[in-house]
Structure 1
Amino acid sequence: MSMASDMQVTLGLPTRTLYQGAARALVAEAENGAFGLLPNHLDFVTALVPSVLVLTEPGGRERFFGIDEGLLVKQGHQVNVAVRRGAEGRDLASLRHTVADIFGAMDEDERVARAALSRLEASIVRRFAELRKPAP
């Protein structure tokens, strides 16, 4: 592997790409604690926990992403991060509010969907029970 000053990072959600571009450093958190990656770091795979992912671009600008659980794979100078949910903030304070708003809305949508699914499952069970009743 050649020495490089940057790595290519892709941060993907199930429905879209949240970030794609060059980075000089990346800091994230796994189940066993926070870690940092530089372009010439060894290849690496880990499961991520809900946390803040900090990415430093080649010009020195830091970008902050609030992420849910996911997976990070570093291979060569390419880093792929796949997470269930994520949001970017201008700084840590704005990220906190953005994450609360977006994740809160998603949690409410998921709660409504789970409730509808439960009602559907209960209806199916009732209908099957009716089918098993002997005809009069």
Structure 2
Amino acid sequence: MKLNVYTPLATVLDGWDVAYLRAEDESGAFGVLPGHADFLTALTVSVVSWRDSKGTEHHAAVRGGILEVRGGDEVTIATKEAVQSDDLVTLEAEVLSAFRRAQEEDKAARIDAQRLYLAAIRQICCFLRAEGGKGARLHE
């Protein structure tokens, strides 16, 4: 199988020959072998591991993303951020914790933006109610 990993700014892996791939989505870890049925899933912040045709294991930390298996011979991962390394300990200890922190910061920023949006809507509604009351009195 061929493995491709893309971020918005870079091609992290392009056409690596892969004999086996292990990844993780919300339901847990899963494996992909050559000939796998077409498949599409959303990845969690995790480490994707694979063995090349020589049996050497490789890893990449991904900050979520989408994994697609196409035609049983191509695996493509699109992710916000990816770091490829053969040092699994470093990936798990440093990179995954940084990705998880960034994910929590993104979530907090989205919540804050949503709160601001709702506050603005409430202010507009209050303004329109006040204007509506004034306009009704003018027509009387």
**Same topology, TM > 0.5:** yes
Mean Cα deviation higher: 78-87 or 17-26 = 78-87
Question: Where is the helix percentage greater, Structure 1 or Structure 2?
Answer: 2
Q: Distance in 2 between matches of 1:47 and 1:107?
A: 21
Q: Distance in 2 between matches of 1:121 and 1:85?
A: 30
Equivalence for 1:88:
84
Equivalence for 1:74:
70
Larger Rg: 2
**CA 1:89–1:129 in structure 2 vs 1: closer, same or farther (change >3 Å)?**
farther
Kindly provide the amino acid, as one letter, of the partner of residue 116 in structure 1.
A
Q: TM-score scaled to structure 1, two decimals?
A: 0.70
The answer as to whether partners of 1:87 and 1:99 remain within 8 angstroms in 2 is no
Number of corresponding residues: 128
**CA 1:131–1:15 in structure 2 vs 1: closer, same or farther (change >3 Å)?**
farther
Equivalence for 1:4:
none
Q: Any residues of structure 2 matched to 1:92-131 within 5 Å, and which? A: 92-96=88-92, 97-131=94-128
The structural deviation recorded for 1:100 is 0.7
Q: Which of the numbers 5, 11, 34 marks the counterpart of 2:30?
A: 34
Equivalence for 1:47:
41
Q: Distance in 2 between matches of 1:87 and 1:72?
A: 19
Structure 1: which 5+ runs fail to align? Answer: 1-6
Q: Distance in 1 between matches of 2:106 and 2:42?
A: 23
Structure 2: which 5+ runs fail to align? Answer: none
- Aligned-residue CA RMSD in angstroms? 2.9
Query: What percent identity do the matched residue pairs reach?
Result: 23
